[in-house]
Amino acid sequence: MVYFSFAICIFQDRYKSENIEDEAYLLSAIRYVHNNPEKANITKKEKYKWSSYSNYIDILNYTEIPEIKEILEMFSSDIEKALEEFIHFSNQYEEKIFLEMEETIKSEIDEENVNEYINKYLKSRHLKKEDLKKREYAKQKEELIQQLTKRSNLSKRKIAILIGVSRETVRKVSGEPSP
């Protein structure tokens, strides 16, 4: 049974989602989302107005989202005890790796050294960045795009900007299906 679909939309890349098929993962995903404002040093999770966390902790006065009560009942059928356990659970360290976090895994080519990599690639082939737009250098352009997509965690949009081609070109070369 699929409980929800956990989705993350990163502005630099395509929308991503995965199914949540068990209660433990569902609760971890909720904790992860609720803790994001603090993790990003924006504000306390209780004060973040775009989060449902404050609705959870004020469940006795809030009833607009029925799923909140259902989630709290995973902790206990006694709503006050459930709330206490939920707050304790929410404050624990999260070890699970979610979609967004996969993007931060260290790669061979990153934001700091990508320009150096591109320049070395172009220099070794006696090319300029403008040459990548020319038909006769299509193979070199494709090779560079493939190297950047395989060896970095850079978004396709970022790669397109860095080498001066369209995002659609990067998408096609990297073998990503059409949206």
Which mean pLDDT values do the consecutive 10-residue runs of the chain (179 residues) have? 46 59 84 85 87 84 78 90 92 67 58 89 92 92 91 87 90 75
Q: Is residue 94 part of a domain?
A: yes
In this structure, the answer to whether residues 85 and 31 fall within a common structural domain is yes
In this structure, the answer to whether residues 67 and 130 fall within a common structural domain is no
17 strand-pairing partners:
7
- Number of structural domains, the chain? 2
84 C-beta neighbours (distance < 10 Å), count? 13
Residue 113's alpha-carbon distances to 79, 108, 109, in angstroms, are 52, 9, 6
Parent domain of 164: 114-173
Q: Is residue 147 part of a domain?
A: yes
3-state DSSP helix/strand/coil % of the chain, to nearest 5: 55, 5, 40
